[in-house]
Structure 1
Amino acid sequence: MAAKLTFTSAPPAARARGADLPAVLYREYALLARNRAYLILGLTPMLVYLLLVNTSLSNLVQVVDYRGLEVRFSVFLLPMTLAMSVVSAAGTSGTAVFQEELSGVATQLWSYPLRRSRFLLGKLIAGVSLVLGQSLLGLGVAAFIFDFPFAPEGWIGLLTTLALAALAFNGLYLAVAMTITDFQAFMVLSNVSIPVLVFSAPSLYTVDSMPLVLQWVSAVNPLTYAINGMRDAALFGFADAWPEMLVLAVMAIISYGVGGRALLNRARNM
């Protein structure tokens, strides 16, 4: 009689499949911690606008009329600096995809029994953590320097909208990185898109003060909804910010859906 093989614990394949997400997360966090250059590049634009532009322009433009409310310029500019941090860090997450392919690491990853969904989920968690970490650091610096008159509901709304913006833009840049196969094209698109997104949105000014053409552009600019959502949530509460939050949530769902499909196609072609 043939001996029956039994396992006292989970089979090796099952253990490997169960450990793929922690392994991806460990690898992603290790890469982010070691690559200090990208961390510096992600923080620099936000700190420049927070410490230099904000303090300089606050003496010139002291108060902004935002939806009938007189708002100090330092308060008005805060969502813009947080949004810039979100976009910069999201671009860094997209760049990491090409680094893996150019170094041959991506081919090694797909040689293991790694589920594509867990790889994408690990990228999502690590990328959003990077975006939120940098943004929260900037928010802490801003709260230390400037006095923000936000109620507890305003702070909660600001952080909630910031988290949704991190999900949406990390998914957007990840989807673009998965879809585009040319690293140089992605770098050009990533570097050009940041100033275009920032300055075609109501970042330093209200929508009403923008030229008519830029008002049309801002209506389709996803960063507009992140900036206005954070402003509305911080100043007026959740009730005024839910339309922008809904747009960011839909954007995140679509982006990760497109990125997941592009990831499957990319893995098959390796």
Structure 2
Amino acid sequence: MIPVDGRAIYGLWLRDTKRFLRTPSRIVGSLATPLLFLVFMGVGFQGAAIPGLPEDVDYLQYLVPGIVGFTMLFGASFAGLSILADQDVGFLKEILVAPVSRTSIVLGRIAGGSTTALVQALLILGLSVPLGFEPASYLSMPLALVFLVLLAVTFVGFGIALASQFSDSEGFGLIVQFVIFPLFFLSGALYPLEGLPGSIRYAAYANPLTYGVDGLRAVLVGTSSFPVLVDFGALLVSSAAMVAIGAFLFERVEAV
């Protein structure tokens, strides 16, 4: 068994990061949907009576962590598209036949996808400040970064696992969008989970994004549905599980 190769991980991370940063249109496009949600809902529902919303929390303050979480979900899951793009140009075949382990390849792609998703999320967080968002404490930003990293790893792993089962980007894009929006709406990103019916609420509790949004809300706004340690533990488990599943499924990809 070929051991994990740090140079291969670094090389794939560097390639994905440079490709993202050198494509301004991709950066702007990845921010458009989250920013629309933030502007229209954050401003449109300002002062509205939202069932379950804490009395001392403005809706924009409540919404921003949810939109940041959505940005991570959207950007990280579509990291799988880069694998299919590499398959189309033949680069995937080259790295699959290289003398490095499939685990190294998966870890490199997860590192690159997580970095690009983090850039997108931090840009959205920065753009929310002029709209009126103010973190409870800027000292909490390192904790927020921990939750963002765990969210990124979880959903990049998910994207890689899903992409490994497809040979065309069109089919992958349809399925990933079909998965993304239910996860988003069942995460408490837009409205408190307490207002959901019991059966749907249980489905929300099985959603990793629920704990990511709640953890971000706890450290950035000072309100949450679960203890921070519960959010952290759930994300730690989900990120480890997605990395393992992504590595397992990628091991079965043929170099053809």
Could you state the TM-score of these two structures normalised by the residue count of structure 2?
0.86
Residue 163 of structure 2 is aligned to residue 156 of structure 1: no
1:27 aligns with 2:11: no
Question: Which moved further from structure 2: 242-251 or 217-226?
Answer: 217-226
- Is the contact made by 1:161 and 1:233 (CA closer than 8 Å) also made in structure 2? no
Distance 1:58 1:83, change over 3 A: same
Corresponding position of 1:222: 208
Q: Which has the higher helix share?
A: 1
Amino acid at match of 1:40: V
In 1, Cα distance between equivalents of 2:202 and 2:24:
38
C-alpha contact (below 8 Å) 1:164/1:248 kept by paired residues: yes
Aligned in 2, Cα 1:204/1:29: closer, same or farther, shift over 3 Å? closer
How far off its partner does 1:253 sit? 0.7
Q: Which residue, 41, 47, 50 being the options, matches 2:29? A: 41
Q: For the Cα contact (< 8 Å) 1:233–1:240, is it kept in 2?
A: no
Contact conserved, 2:81 with 2:163, CA < 8 A, in 1? Answer: yes
Aligned counterpart for 1:103 among listed residues 89, 92, 103? 89
Rounded to whole Å, the distance in 2 between the matches of 1:116 and 1:217 is 33
Larger radius of gyration: 1
| Distance of 1:60 and 1:216 partners within structure 2 | 26
CA distance in 2: counterparts of 1:119 and 1:176, whole angstroms: 15
Match of 2:248 in 1: 261
TM-score by length of 1: 0.82
Distance of 1:148 and 1:245 partners within structure 2:
23
Separation in 1, partners of 2:176, 2:248: 21
Q: Following the alignment from structure 1 to structure 2, what is the Cα–Cα distance between the partners of residues 33 and 153?
A: 28
Find the residue that maps to 1:162 and give its secondary structure: helix
CA contact (8 A) 2:65 2:213 kept: yes
Matched, 1:75 2:70: no
Quote the RMSD (CA, aligned, Å): 2.6
Distance 2:35 2:181 in 1: 15
User: What is the CA distance between 1:141 and its match in structure 2?
Assistant: 1.0
Whether the 8 Å contact between 2:72 and 2:151 is mirrored in structure 1 is: yes
Q: Name the aligned partner's letter for residue 136 of structure 1.
A: L
Which runs of structure 2 are paired with 1:199-210 in the superposition (5 Å)? 199-210=185-196
Contact 1:153 1:237 in 2 (8 A): no
- Give the whole-Å Cα distance in 1 for the aligned partners of 2:134 and 2:251: 45
| Structure 1 unmatched ranges of 5 or more | 1-16
Percent identity over paired residues: 20
Aligned match of 2:152:
166
Counterpart among 77, 100, 105 of residue 119 in structure 1: 105
Higher relative contact order (CA 8 A, sep 6+): 2
Is the Cα–Cα contact under 8 Å of residues 20 and 115 in structure 1 kept in the other structure?
A: no
Rounded Cα–Cα distance in structure 2 between residues aligned with 1:149 and 1:111? 47
- Deviation at residue 131 of structure 1 after TM alignment: 0.8
Runs of 5+ consecutive residues of structure 2 not aligned to the other structure: none
State the distance in 1 between where 2:94 and 2:23 align: 20
Give how far 1:81 is off. 0.6
Q: 8 Å contact 1:64–1:72 — kept in the other structure?
A: no
3-state SS, counterpart of residue 57 of structure 2 = strand
Specify whether residues 18 and 135 from structure 1 end up closer, same or farther in structure 2 by C-alpha distance, changes over 3 A only: closer
